[in-house]
Structures are given as C-alpha cells and as structure tokens.
Amino acid sequence: METILDRFLRYVAIDTQSNEESESQPSEAKELDLLRLLRDELLAMGVKAELDEYGYVMASIPSNIDKKVPAVGFIAHVDTAPDASGKDVKPQIIKNYDGSPIALKGVGGLYLDPADFPELLAHKGETIITTDGTTLLGADDKAGVAEIMDAVQYIVAHPEFRHGDIRIGFTPDEEIGRGVVKFDVQRFGADFAYTMDGGEAGELEFENFNAASAVVKIQGRNVHPGYAKGKMLNSIHIAHELMDLLPVEQRPEFTSGYEGFFHLVGFKGTVEESQLTWIIRDHDRAKFEEKKRVMMRCCQFIDDKYGKGTATPTLKDQYYNMREMVEPHYHIIEKAEKAMRLAGVEPHIQPIRGGTDGANLSFKGLPCPNIFAGGLNFHGKMEWVPLESMQKASAVILNIIKLFTE
C-alpha cells in the first residue's frame, strides 16, 4: 500500500496550474495529466471511475451493508493557483521539526520562520513538507486529493470496512472560480458531500464569501508629452485615482473574520489604456451587494470627471455563501465534528475567507461543507503542510463514512 506522503509527492510533481485568461474547460490541458492519472489509479484499485469531457473525475464505491443510508461524497480540486508557478515543484521534507526557521533552499536567504508564521510551532515534532522557495507546493488542493485517494485505498484493501454508497469527485479550475460550473450533481449521485480543501487541522467550514470579480478598463488619451498640456489623459494616473476612491480599510490586509474586502489582483497599463482587476468579497449578502454598488459609483465618478467611457467596469458574480444551503442539513456538520474528535482532532468551525467548490455545489442542490486538508500559506512559495495533518484528514474521511452507516 502506498503511503499518503508518497502519493502526495507524486501529485505535486505534476504541473496543474489553471489559467483565468482561458475560456476552455479545463482551462489548461495539463490539468488533465493528473485527472487521467487519478482515474487510472481508481480503476486499478477496482473502483468504477470515469473522466468526462469537462475534466471531472467521478468514481463510486457501492455499499456493502444491507440497510439504506445516504450516499456521501468527497471532492477535491487538482489545479493550483495562478498566483505562483506550480511547475517543477521541489518539496522539502523536514522530519521531527524542532521549531527553528526552515531554509527554503532554492532561494538564498529565504526562510519559513516561526517569527513570521507562529503556527509552525504547533507542529513541533511532526514531519513538515515545504517548497524550496521557487514555486508553490500544491497542498491546495493536492493534499485533499491524496487524502481522498488514501481513504479509498484503505476501503478497497479492507472489505470488512462497513460503508454505504461512496462517491469520489476530482475537479479542475477551482482556483479561478469555475471548478464545478459544469459538474453534474445528479450524475455524481451523492446525497451529501464534503470538499477536502481547508487549511489547518480541525477546520470545518460551512460559511464562505459571496464573491464577484470586477474588471475596469480605463481609456486615456495619448498626446506627445512635449505638447500634452490640457490634452493628455494618462490612463495610469486615472487608474491610480480610481484605486484611491475605494476604502483603504477594506483591503484584505486590513480585514479578518467576517469582514469583506476589495482586493486588487491585477494591473496592466499604458498612457493610452489601462486595465485593473479586483475580487470583491463579503460573507453578508447585503454588504456584498453594496460593495459592488460602491465599485460602480467610483467608476461613474471617474466618467463624470474625465468624460463618458473613461472607466468601463465589468462585474461578474462568482459564487455565494453556502450557509443558507447547508444549515438546513446541520447533521452533516455534526457528523464531521464527531469524525474529527474520533481522529483526535478538535474541530474548529469558522467562516472561510475564500471559497470552495462546495459553495457552488451547495447551490446546485448538493450540501457540501469544507473540511481541513492540512496545508497553510496557500498560493505562494511559503506554502507548507504537516504530514500528520494529512493522515488525520484521511482518518476523518473514514470516520464520516462510518458515522453515515449508524
């Protein structure tokens, strides 16, 4: 039987970075490299599995008990974030971590330091997996993928393990907000599901941000700088003015808990034309809608000042807070809490300051809270995951399946 560590290391070696500029599904063909591998590994274990035209792997393990119990699903995404490279990942494995700064040896002078990341100290004595500082690690969400596959391996190897119908799903493009746009919930066949896509061990989440993207094009007017007085409109300066109109205290670096934000994630520009990209987030739907109105009012102010068509905003909703869809089925949260305690993990229910495939799945009719996968510092070169957290997550999956048979 393959260890969860070996499995995880194999998965992160495959570049699966999604591409928000692409219109295809999956957004990058290289995501299919891991999706095909997962399908084939499931088939090799004797599990019925298929990969469809949209890049979804769906697998099923039939019940081995007499009574009817709900079919439960477990879902993880294979893509890594566009924020940092996922190519040629070189993990570092630090056994029996002693609490000191960890050198990320691919970049001279770069350390994963408890002074900056004190949560490291909660994992002294454990095996820590980090990047080498040149790429992200991919624990988001290949840790979740490995945990699900580890649990499947256990179930297949232990026919005495009692379970109802189990559904497994692997998706592309979660990191760009399109993970389950074409996911067929009916074909998946689960009554309830869990995404294995959270952070620190113990995290259990059924609230997430309402989310939208905002792309604003700024049209300037270029004139030779020697003769520009009273004529030039420098779109870069106008874009900067638009940024300053939005509330500074509502940037992500100044918010926490249930507080939402405007996050500027992209800028490109010349004197003639610039483009800015924000993501807009809030747990409260009314505040979320007000943030979108604020963005529109700021763009209108720029238009009024510099002329119609100067600022052209395009706002697009991405997903909504799953709480209203999950809370009526609160027993699935209670089962996850109990499953964690059985695995020696104290559950910590908190809102997600982000989103998961589970949000959109919940609105498609599949209540789908989120469980920890164990990783921290997602989307960048400081990403890391404790091996023991992945092992506990796999145990939580098995415990949830047991609890659904009771």
pLDDT in tens, 191-227: 999 999 999 999 999 999 999 999 999 999 999 999 9
Q: Which of 174, 197, 200, 357 is catalytic?
A: 174
Host domain of residue 235: 210-319
Average per-residue pLDDT for the chain: 96
For position 89, which CATH number holds? 3.40.630.10
* 116/202 same-domain check: yes
- Host H or E run for residue 390: helix 387-405
Active site (annotated) includes residue 174? yes
CB of 230 within 8 A of CB of 351?
A: no
* 233/106 same-domain check: no
* 315/341 same-domain check: no
Half-sphere exposure in the Cβ direction for 29 (13 Å, CA): 0
CB of 331 within 8 A of CB of 285?
A: no
* 265/122 same-domain check: no
Residue 355 has pLDDT above 80, yes or no: no
pLDDT in tens, 21-77: 999 999 999 999 999 999 999 999 999 999 999 999 999 999 999 999 999 999 999
Query: Span 110-118, mean pLDDT?
Result: 97
* 220/263 same-domain check: yes
Q: Before 141, cis peptide (omega within 30)?
A: yes
* 111/230 same-domain check: no
* 10/94 same-domain check: yes
Nearest to 182 by CA among 362, 37, 26, 317: 26
Query: Span 340-351, mean pLDDT?
Result: 96
For position 264, which CATH number holds? 3.30.70.360
pLDDT in tens, 227-286: 999 999 999 999 999 999 999 999 999 999 999 999 999 999 999 999 999 999 999 999
pLDDT interval class at 367 (50, 70, 90): very high
pLDDT for 352 = 86
Strands 57-61 and 48-51: antiparallel
Q: Which of 28, 31, 41, 79 is catalytic?
A: 79
Query: Span 381-385, mean pLDDT?
Result: 97
Which of 288, 319, 350 corresponds to the end of one domain?
319
Domain count, the chain: 2
* 250/283 same-domain check: yes
Q: Which amino acid is at 69?
A: V
* 180/224 same-domain check: no
Neighbouring residues of 253: CB distance < 8 A, sequence distance ≥ 6: none
Query: Span 115-123, mean pLDDT?
Result: 97
CA distance 396 to 252: 31
pLDDT for 17 = 97
Dmax over CA atoms of the chain, in Å, equals 85
* 58/165 same-domain check: yes
Q: The whole model's pTM is what?
A: 0.87
Q: Before 26, cis peptide (omega within 30)?
A: yes
pLDDT in tens, 187-198: 999 999 999 999
Proportion of the chain above pLDDT 90, given as a percent: 95
Which of 282, 298, 319 corresponds to the end of one domain?
319
Which of 319, 354, 372 corresponds to the end of one domain?
319
CB of 397 within 8 A of CB of 349?
A: no
* 173/218 same-domain check: no
Neighbouring residues of 43: CB distance < 8 A, sequence distance ≥ 6: 49
* 364/274 same-domain check: no
Active site (annotated) includes residue 79? yes
